[in-house]
Structure formats: structure tokens, C-alpha cells
Amino acid sequence: MGALNQTRVTEFIFLGLTDNWVLQTVFFTAFTATYMLTLWGNVLIVLIIVLTPRLHTPMYFFLSNLSFIDICHSSVTVPKMLEGLLLERKTISYDNCITQLFFLHLFACAEIFLLTIMAYDRYVAICTPLHYPAVMNMRVCVQLVFALWLGGTIHSLVQTFLTIRLPYCGPNIIDSYFCDVPSVIKLACTDTYLTGMLIVSNSGTISLTCFLALVTSYTVILVSLRKQSAEGRRKALSTCSTHFMVVALFFGPCIFIYTRPDTSFSIDKVVSVFYTVITPLLNPLIYTFRNEEVKSAMKQFRQRQIFS
């Protein structure tokens, strides 16, 4: 009770990526360009899928949702990070910190579930193609997307509740550039061991379970490809390798950050930058350069824009 009676923290101070002004200028320029390309690339993918009738299929419906999530995910942390690179004192209010934390976990969890659904979609399409139209119709796809947002919301509410129930009365310095559960609960003026284990169990279980489901799906797909024709194998491998690249880029940092106990490594900030800044940009690049249908639709979209 003594801790609870102390002055409550009203703001947190970020240490940011670096206190070197030269590096801050370089990072600001590079990450601003990265963020703008992320927005442009993902918005373009959504527009192309919406405006191209032949892409109105489950796979591209999920891809457009992935692009939307990537826009939201990067927008939770990057603008605040860019602001911090311009300011000597990098602060965020307690309420804004909790809001950032909530939406970070909402969009991250939604992306984990979506990537798992996309793997299941490819499994059905490749392993049971005759049943695909019945199993993965648009009604089912909409229900799955609704379910992933519901699951992400529940997960994020749990993480947020476990964070705000702790008393914060100082210190208030976060060794990062955004608010996340592990970095915030370290500042609580009470024992956080049990809370930390609950948080790791929650996030870690979701990350590992979905990752194992993904690996299982792709393993079954690879085994089933032996029965496919050479052209069928080539097309399936191209699609699945694209998906698996995105999975590895997203799940690697998630598993590194959220499946270990309350310990810090010097590489944590690098992993966080990759997870929050780089990956949302790589997704549209990977899908654009490795997907012939998307490239063809983009070419037609450019031609329509030129002639109009």
C-alpha cells in the first residue's frame, strides 16, 4: 500500500535510439523515407487489389488486410520515434503510452493471426484444390478476418490490463523509443515477476503456437507437392516461399522479444526497429516483386492512370 500512496507517474521519458545528433539526423532521414515508402507501398497494394476484379480472391483479400495492418502497425510507433529524433527530451504521457502499447499489441497479434490464416488458405488451395471454393469462400474469409480482430483485441486488452494494474511511482525512463509491455512493467514500483511470466506466457504462447502451425502447414504443403506437376510445383513453391519469407521476417523478432523472461540485450533496439519499421516495408516489396499477378495488375493500373 505504501507504493500505491506515492506520486503516480504522469509521463515517461524515452532514451531513444541514440543521443548522437549526427546519427539522429541520419536515422530521421532514413526512417522518414522508410515510413513514407511503407505507407505508399501498402496503400498501393490495397488499391490494386480493390480495383482489379481478378484479384478478388481469398488470397488477395487476406493480402489487402495484411497491407492495412502493416500501415496501422508502423503508424503506432514510427511517427513518435521520428518526433523523438528531433527533440532533445523525448517524452510521452502515461495515457498515450498505454494507448500506444494497446494498439501495438492489437496490430501485432492481428498480423500473427492473419499470417496463420494465410498459411491455412494456401494449405487448402494446394492440398485439397477441389474443396477450396467451398472451404474458403468469401463469407468464410470475412468471418476469419473478424475472428482475428476479435482475438487481437482480447489479447491486447489482457496485455494492457496486466500493465495498468501495476503501480508506477518512479523511475520513468524507458530504454527504447516506444512503449511496450516488457519495457513499461520494469518501471513498476512493485514485484513484477508473476505479471512478467503471465505476459510472456500470453504473448509467447500465441507467437509459438501460430509459428508451429505455420511450419506444419508449409511442411504438409511441401510433402504434397511431390504429386503435383512441374508447373504446379513451381507456382506453389513461388507463392509459399513468398509467404514464408514474410512469416520469418515477422515471427523472428516477435519470438525473440516476447518469449523470454525479463531480460534485456543490447540488440533489443535493433530487433525492435526491424520489427516495427523495416518489416512493414518489406511485406509489399516481397509480394510485389515475387508475385506475377500483382505485378501484372500494377502494370495495368499504371497504364490506366497514364491514359486517363
Q: Which three cell numbers stand for residue 271?
A: 530487433
Spatial CA neighbour of 100 closest among 70, 72, 71? 72
Cβ(40)–Cβ(281) below 8 Å? no
Chain-centroid distance, C-alpha 189: 30
Which ranges of 136-273 does DSSP label H, i.e. alpha helix?
138-164, 181-185, 193-224, 230-258, 268-273
User: In angstroms, rounded to a whole number, what is the distance separating the alpha carbons of residues 23 and 288?
Assistant: 31
Per-residue pLDDT of the chain (308 residues; tens, 9 = 90+): 444 445 588 899 998 888 889 999 999 999 999 999 999 999 988 998 898 888 899 989 999 999 999 999 999 999 999 999 998 889 999 999 999 999 999 999 999 999 899 888 988 888 888 889 989 999 999 999 999 999 999 999 999 999 999 999 878 999 889 998 888 998 998 888 888 888 877 777 888 888 888 888 888 888 877 776 676 677 667 667 777 777 777 777 777 776 665 555 557 788 888 888 888 888 877 777 667 777 787 777 777 665 55
Reduce the DSSP state of residue 90 to 3 states and report it: strand
Chain-centroid distance, C-alpha 106: 9
DSSP symbol at 15: -
* Domain residue limits, the chain: 21-307
Spatial CA neighbour of 114 closest among 144, 153, 76? 144
Q: Which fold has domain 21-307?
A: Rhopdopsin 7-helix transmembrane proteins (1.20.1070)
Q: What's the predicted TM-score (pTM) here?
A: 0.87
